[in-house]
Structure 1
């Protein structure tokens, strides 16, 4: 099932839902079904080694090791 972005015409809320394309969802704020499907922005995957290295260095400095592999955690 794809994730769709919606805009509620009644309460002006914006949200995204994981729904089948044939399903008409309800707004989570007001319950209305008067919704407009929006174009979703696509986020390009970040494969920059520089970005990853800076992120890992910052995480290690703060004590967060969740973004390191199990082998890398043993050396820290």
Structure 2
């Protein structure tokens, strides 16, 4: 999924992350699984009408670490 070229991705097939709902009663691991199940491709998605593609460096942090940090920030807001 992370190797998909942007030109090969159809906007109508992307998930709008504003429509994703997470159960606050789930553990962090279950929330990550739920998010991944709902988003489909975590590297290419919509944020409203805006298509987003995420790329990571080879030696950068793992996606799980980034998602965990993201969810922790949301919880603190």
TM-score range for the pair, normalised by the shorter chain length: under 0.3
- The structure number with the bigger radius of gyration is 1
Q: Quick check: which one's helix share is greater? A: 2
Higher relative contact order (CA 8 A, sep 6+): 2
What TM-score does the superposition give when structure 2 sets the normalisation length? 0.22
Larger strand fraction of residues: 1
